[in-house]
Amino acid sequence: MGNPRVKNQDELQQEADNFLQKRLRNVGDAFGAVDDAYMGFMRDKVLQLPQEGSLPVDAGLRGIREPLGRTLFAARHGASSNPQYKYTGNEGGDKAAIIANRALHAGGITAAGFGLFELGGAIVNQFGGPADSPTNAQLIM
């Protein structure tokens, strides 16, 4: 019977680093899958961009739909989609562009939500004022 080998500090640190890297990669993959689904929905269902090739020349709003597919709703490198509507794979530039693009989406969603919140408040404030209350001469039921 041999004694179990005791790991030194470097080995323990390496195991902890590998564990953390694996977990972070899993989280990143999950965010990537959500991003691919959202961007794919926008390209395929909303903009109705083709899976292969480009839109026909006489397609409605072609001048707006294709640039939106290439910029605002572009797929990450490695995502399965039409190569025309995907980032090029330039490691540094693409990551910065993707981060800025997704921040723009998040900001737009946040601003839209705040606008709806304010609209709801304005609608609620239209009711329940003195005009909706009984006068002193009326009996309260």
Sequence-ordered list of residues with C-beta below 8 angstroms from that of 29, at least 6 positions apart, any chain: none
pLDDT at 25: 84
**Dist. CA 43–CA 60, nearest whole Å:** 15
With a cut of 80, say whether residue 80 has pLDDT above it.
Answer: no
Stretch 125-133: mean pLDDT, rounded? 69
Prediction pTM value: 0.54
**Dist. CA 49–CA 73, nearest whole Å:** 11
pLDDT at 76: 77
Higher pLDDT, 83 or 3: 83
Using pLDDT thresholds of 50, 70 and 90, give the confidence band for residue 132.
Answer: low
* Direct distance between the N- and C-terminal alpha carbons of the chain, in angstroms, rounded to an integer: 90
**Dist. CA 71–CA 5, nearest whole Å:** 55
